[in-house]
Amino acid sequence: MLNDITLGQYFPGNSPIHRMDPRMKLILTILYIVGVFIVANLPGYAIALAFLYIVVRVSGIKFSYLAKGVKPLRFIIIFTFILNLFFVQGETPIFTLGFFTLTKEALNNAIYFALRLIFLVMGTSVLTLTTSPVQLTDGLERIMHPLEKIHFPAHELAMMMTIALRFIPTLLEETDKIQKAQMARGADFESGNLIARAKAMIPLLVPLFVSSFRRANELAMAMEARCYRGGDKRTRLRELKYTKLDLYGALAVAAFLVIIVAEGRLLG
Amino acid sequence: MSIVIEHLNYVYMQGGPYETKALDDVSLTIHDGEFVGLIGHTGSGKSTLVQHLNGLILPTSGQITVDGMDLADKNTDKRAIRRRVGLVFQYPENQLFEETVAKDIAFGPKNLGLDEEEIDRRVRTAMRRVALDYDKLSQRSVFELSGGQMRRVAIAGVLAMEPQTLVLDEPCAGLDPKGREEILGLISDLHRESGATIVMVSHSMDDVAALAERVIVMNHGKVAMDGAPREVFSRGEELRAIGLDVPQAVELAQKLREKGFDVPEGIYKIEEVRAAVEAIVGKGGRHA
């Protein structure tokens, strides 16, 4: 089940996209999504798709792998599509079925929203697939750094994210172990109705919480023992540096935005 | 009741990039009433093997039968097997979750669908077997207990299922010498008094030497040696070659022999070595 989710997974590699500065990648991803939301006609989406396709090819990740990442979200996408069909008010009816009238505007809106969602997921997947979690939080921290002037805990937030990501595999392993231990005592996690199943989770969740708190405690102590002080004047092991690659990336996204806007003016 | 394992293979993450063969053509029979010590270094496959014994892991290929029931068969009732083969995991205190000691121990019997009276009887028996005072401790929170007590509660939780075979994965890991001695003592009592079959996984040669009647050595997913302790521990060179050691008593006996003392071959218990030394001292002197 967990293997289906490509969003948030890292795909190690050494492509130009992988080597770009995480800060730049974050900003460019946001700009790309903004671009996708500006678009309001089908040729525009074709351009957005073409751009994404080129980026993915450069990154060396299979496009089908990326598309697979949209699959778990298909229900949300279908849901928004139907919602838009029904609730958008339009003036040009295509056909009427009883009290329901399908209008051209509603259909357009529904299609655009579904496409935007798909591009949103795929765009952010490119970011997470090509950027390791550590790099990502590093980049986030640097981007949020100016906010520390208004006492926004950028470093602490980034550190919490790093720690949370680091412990996901540990937690999965632990869950597996405790589940087996309770099964050895005759626990049944697979059968019964919803309430019975929820109740069956207690022998699993309590030990997980207990060990998580204990681990958090130990980690905090281990960090303090190594004189960890968050925030100010920490130097870093890997300095982030913008390179030529980042310039090219920025230029490419800028070109994409210009084309999108120009295309919107021409056709829209 | 016996556990028969035939040509057992187990592969982790089959087909994936991290595919590893954890068990490689393992065949052995664990007889009724035996005390088996299972030793091997980290990653030798011993933990994978014991999880097969009650159907928590199903074999990639090969066969295991417990009491004639085939574990690989999807239709076999896993719970019927789990009430026959009790498995105590490494650091079992991590699995405690109930409000009180008594409730936690009752979890297993409750899952077996027993009535209140029988559950209560089993909780009391199990606590007595692990030397925990029912009146004093049964209503305490499990999280208030000491490490050694928590471990004993966890073992009691498995004992309350009243399995005929008890499998313990590193039961003494992380305990201080006193706690270790207590746990080993109660395992030994259990075996002697109730005649239960015991399979004890351990790193410690000394623990195994003190208790086991049969020693199985695992290496790279295969059974490297299988026999009486006397026989296995006499193969010190081979044991060292696979990253294990011999019990301290065996080493002491060997060193004494090298110095020319008349210490018999094949002894492996500390009491035996002591007797040998006393015999020498009693005779009043050195040989050779």
Can you tell me the distance from the alpha carbon of B85 to that of B48, in angstroms, rounded to the nearest whole number? 15
pLDDT tens-digit map of A44-88:
999 999 999 999 999 988 888 888 878 888 888 999 898 888 888
The phi and psi torsions of A230 (rounded to 5 degrees) equal -70, 170
Cβ contact, residue pair B82, A178, below 8 Å: no
Pairwise pLDDT comparison (A218 vs B75), residue with the higher score = A218
- pLDDT at A265 > cutoff 50: yes
What's the ipTM? 0.86
Can you tell me the distance from the alpha carbon of A145 to that of A169, in angstroms, rounded to the nearest whole number? 29
Q: Model pTM?
A: 0.75
Chain B: residue nearest A182 by CA? B95
Taking the CA of residue A181 and the nearest CA in chain B, the distance in Å comes to 7
Can you tell me the distance from the alpha carbon of B131 to that of B128, in angstroms, rounded to the nearest whole number? 5
Shortest CA distance to A231 belongs to which of A161, A162, A136, A152?
A: A152
Can you tell me the distance from the alpha carbon of B88 to that of A249, in angstroms, rounded to the nearest whole number? 56
CA distances in angstroms from A222 to A158, A176, A217, A225, A238, listed in the order given: 18, 26, 9, 5, 22
pLDDT tens-digit map of A173-200:
899 999 999 999 988 887 778 888 888 8
Q: How confident is the model at residue B214 (pLDDT cuts 50, 70, 90)?
A: very high
Residues A247-256, mean pLDDT to the nearest whole number: 93
**pLDDT, position A128:** 87
Question: How is residue A73 written in tokens?
Answer: 């979200």
**pLDDT, position B288:** 46
- pLDDT at A4 > cutoff 50: no
**pLDDT, position B128:** 93
By percentage, how much of chain B surpasses pLDDT 90? 53
Of A102-111, A126-135, A139-148, A201-210, which one has max mean pLDDT? A201-210
Cβ contact, residue pair A207, B94, below 8 Å: yes
**pLDDT, position A165:** 81
The answer as to CATH 3.40.50.300 being correct for domain B3-235 is yes
pLDDT tens-digit map of A20-36:
999 999 999 999 999 99
Q: How confident is the model at residue A1 (pLDDT cuts 50, 70, 90)?
A: very low
**Residue holding tokens 């996984």?**
B201
Residues of B near A (CB-CB distance < 8 A)?
51, 54, 56, 78-79, 82-83, 86-87, 89, 92, 94-97, 107-108, 111-112, 143, 157-158, 161
Which SS3 state, helix, strand or coil, does residue B202 take? Answer: strand
pLDDT tens-digit map of B109-155:
999 999 999 999 999 999 999 999 999 999 999 989 988 899 999 99
Which SS3 state, helix, strand or coil, does residue A241 take? Answer: coil
Mean pLDDT of chain B: 89
Cβ contact, residue pair A202, B97, below 8 Å: yes
- pLDDT at B16 > cutoff 70: no
Taking the CA of residue B97 and the nearest CA in chain A, the distance in Å comes to 5
Which SS3 state, helix, strand or coil, does residue B2 take? Answer: coil
Select the residue of A186, A188, A207 nearest B95 (Cβ to Cβ).
A207
CATH 3.40.50.300 in chain B, residue ranges: 3-235
Pairwise pLDDT comparison (A2 vs B168), residue with the higher score = B168
pLDDT tens-digit map of A194-248:
888 888 899 999 999 999 999 999 999 999 999 888 766 777 777 888 899 999 9
Diameter over CA atoms, chain B = 69
